[in-house]
Amino acid sequence: MIKTILSLATVAFAAVLTSCGSKPALCDNSAIMVDQCGYAPTDAKMALLFSKGEKFSVLDCDGRTVLSGDVSAPAFWPEAGDSVRQIDFSRLSAEGCYVISVDDSILSPSFRITPRPHQAALTSAARAFYYNRASMAIDELHGGKWARSAGHPDTLVLVHKSAASESRPEGTRLSLPGGWYDAGDYNKYIVNSAISTYTLLLASDLFASVADTLALSIPESGSASPDLTSETLYNLRWMLSMQDPADGGVYAKLTSLSFEGFIMPADCHMQRYVVAKSTAAALDLAATAAFASRTLPLRSESLKPLADSCRTVAAKAYAWAKANPDVIFHNPDDVSTGEYGDGDVSDEWFWASTEMWLLTGDDAYAADAAAHVKTCSLPSWGCVAPLAFYSMASANRSLPGINAVEELAQVADSLLAAAEASPIRLSMSLFDWGSNSFVANSAMLKAVAYKCLPTRSDYVASLRDDLHYIFGRNATGYSFVTGVGSRPPMNIHHRPSAADGIAEPVPGFLAGGPNTVVPADCGGVETRSSYPAKAYADQECSYSTNEVAINWNAPLVFALLADVSF
Binding site for ligand 9MR (CB under 6 A): 183-185, 259, 338, 543, 547
Q: Given the complex with ligand G3I, which of 106 and 549 has the nearer CB atom? A: 549
123 — alpha (psi -120 to 50), left (phi > 0) or beta?
alpha
For the CB of residue 491, give the shortest distance to ligand 9MR in the complex, in Å. Answer: 13
The answer to whether residue 185 is catalytic is: yes
Question: Residue 517 interacts with ligand G3I (CB under 6 A)?
Answer: yes
Question: Residue 103 interacts with ligand G3I (CB under 6 A)?
Answer: no
Q: Which of these ranges, 44-52, 142-150, 179-187, 292-300, lies near ligand G3I under the rule CB under 6 A?
A: 179-187
531 contact choice in ligand 9MR, ligand G3I, none (CB below 5 to 8 Å, kind-dependent): none
Question: Residue 432 interacts with ligand G3I (CB under 6 A)?
Answer: yes
| Alpha-carbon span 563 to 558, nearest angstrom | 9
| Alpha-carbon span 177 to 436, nearest angstrom | 30
81 contact choice in ligand G3I, ligand 9MR, none (CB below 5 to 8 Å, kind-dependent): none
Pairing type for strands 188-189 and 251-255 reads antiparallel
| Alpha-carbon span 3 to 397, nearest angstrom | 50
Please tell me which residue in 372, 468, 493, 494 is annotated as part of the active site.
493
Q: In Å, how far are 167, 172, 264 from 159, measured between CA atoms?
A: 11, 5, 25
For the CB of residue 338, give the shortest distance to ligand 9MR in the complex, in Å. Answer: 5
For the CB of residue 355, give the shortest distance to ligand G3I in the complex, in Å. Answer: 23
Question: Residue 433 interacts with ligand G3I (CB under 6 A)?
Answer: yes
| Alpha-carbon span 420 to 128, nearest angstrom | 33
420 — alpha (psi -120 to 50), left (phi > 0) or beta?
alpha
Please tell me which residue in 244, 538, 540, 563 is annotated as part of the active site.
538
382 contact choice in ligand 9MR, ligand G3I, none (CB below 5 to 8 Å, kind-dependent): ligand G3I
Q: Given the complex with ligand 9MR, which of 160 and 493 has the nearer CB atom? A: 493
Question: Residue 226 interacts with ligand G3I (CB under 6 A)?
Answer: no
Question: Residue 547 interacts with ligand G3I (CB under 6 A)?
Answer: yes
Site for ligand G3I (CB under 6 A): which residue of 35, 43, 154, 182? 182
Please tell me which residue in 79, 82, 185, 563 is annotated as part of the active site.
185
| Alpha-carbon span 539 to 315, nearest angstrom | 44
The answer to whether residue 493 is catalytic is: yes
Residues 345 to 404: which contact ligand G3I by CB under 6 A? 380, 382
For the CB of residue 539, give the shortest distance to ligand 9MR in the complex, in Å. Answer: 11
For the CB of residue 341, give the shortest distance to ligand G3I in the complex, in Å. Answer: 7
Q: Given the complex with ligand G3I, which of 474 and 544 has the nearer CB atom? A: 544
Question: Residue 185 interacts with ligand G3I (CB under 6 A)?
Answer: yes
**What are the backbone dihedrals phi and psi of residue 101, each rounded to the nearest 5 degrees, phi first?**
-120, 145
Q: Given the complex with ligand 9MR, which of 340 and 365 has the nearer CB atom? A: 340
The answer to whether the CB of 77 falls within 8 A of the CB of 151 is: no
Site for ligand G3I (CB under 6 A): which residue of 157, 183, 275, 510? 183
The answer to whether residue 547 is catalytic is: yes
For the CB of residue 234, give the shortest distance to ligand G3I in the complex, in Å. Answer: 18
Q: How many residues bind ligand G3I (CB under 6 A)?
A: 12
- Can you give the length of the chain in residues? 566
Give the start-end residues of each E strand in 29-80: 32-33, 46-49, 55-60, 65-70, 75-77
Q: Given the complex with ligand 9MR, which of 185 and 231 has the nearer CB atom? A: 185
| Alpha-carbon span 566 to 460, nearest angstrom | 8
Single-letter residue type at 103: D
HSE-up (13 A, CA, CB side) for residue 146 = 20
Q: Given the complex with ligand 9MR, which of 45 and 495 has the nearer CB atom? A: 495
Angle at 460 between CA 455 and CA 461, to 5 degrees: 115
Question: Residue 492 interacts with ligand G3I (CB under 6 A)?
Answer: no
Q: Given the complex with ligand G3I, which of 117 and 338 has the nearer CB atom? A: 338
Q: Which of these ranges, 349-357, 410-418, 432-440, 470-478, lies near ligand G3I under the rule CB under 6 A?
A: 432-440
203 contact choice in ligand G3I, ligand 9MR, none (CB below 5 to 8 Å, kind-dependent): none
Q: Which residues pair with 76 in a beta bridge?
A: 83
Q: Which residue is nearest to ligand 9MR (CB)?
A: 185
Question: Residue 154 interacts with ligand G3I (CB under 6 A)?
Answer: no
| Alpha-carbon span 38 to 403, nearest angstrom | 37
HSE-up (13 A, CA, CB side) for residue 247 = 18
Q: How many CB atoms lie within 10 A of CB 409?
A: 18
Q: Given the complex with ligand 9MR, which of 221 and 527 has the nearer CB atom? A: 527
Site for ligand G3I (CB under 6 A): which residue of 379, 434, 483, 489? 434
| Alpha-carbon span 73 to 86, nearest angstrom | 8
**What are the backbone dihedrals phi and psi of residue 240, each rounded to the nearest 5 degrees, phi first?**
-60, -35
Q: Measuring CA to CA, which residue among 15, 40, 21, 20 is closest to residue 31?
A: 20
259 contact choice in ligand 9MR, ligand G3I, none (CB below 5 to 8 Å, kind-dependent): ligand 9MR
The answer to whether the CB of 448 falls within 8 A of the CB of 408 is: yes
| Sequence-ordered alpha helix ranges (H) in 112-189 | 119-131, 140-143
| Alpha-carbon span 155 to 458, nearest angstrom | 50
For 297, counting Cβ atoms within 10 Å of its Cβ (0-12 exposed, 13-18 middle, 19+ buried), the class is middle
For the CB of residue 432, give the shortest distance to ligand G3I in the complex, in Å. Answer: 5
For the CB of residue 186, give the shortest distance to ligand 9MR in the complex, in Å. Answer: 9
Which residues of this protein are in contact with ligand G3I, per CB under 6 A? Answer: 182-183, 185, 338, 380, 382, 432-434, 517, 547, 549
Active site (catalytic) residues:
185, 493, 538, 547
